[in-house]
Amino acid sequence: MAESVHVIPRGAGIWAVKREGSKRASGVFGSQLEAALRGREIAQTKRLTLVIHGQDNRIIYRDNFGRDPEPPRDQKH
């Protein structure tokens, strides 16, 4: 599986951006939006998948900035 950048809750309104497999967060932010923007920036630069989690730690959004594992079959458009 491709490496991902996760936006995860840290409690009390604190959000962290953490690359999959990393022990430390890339950044800690005061809002989910700030963390998501930084996570998107990292994912786009490194061509990774961005995964945003909700307060309950369930995945609420996913976006792939790398190669598409399932590209469209229609080559005409």
Q: Position 41: which residue type?
A: E
Is 38 among the domain residues? yes
The answer to whether the beta carbons of residues 27 and 17 sit under 8 Å apart is yes
Task: Tell me, yes or no, whether 29 lies in a domain.
Answer: yes
pLDDT in the model for residue 68: 65
Q: How would residue 1 be classed by pLDDT, with cut points 50, 70 and 90?
A: very low
Q: pLDDT tens digits for 17-72? A: 999 999 999 999 999 999 999 999 999 999 999 999 999 999 999 999 986 666 67
> Total structural domains in the chain?
1
Residue 48 lies in a domain: yes
The answer to whether residue 74 is domain-embedded is: no
Q: Supply the range of the domain harboring residue 60.
A: 4-64
Residue 68 or 11, more confident: 11
Provide the whole-model pTM. Answer: 0.83
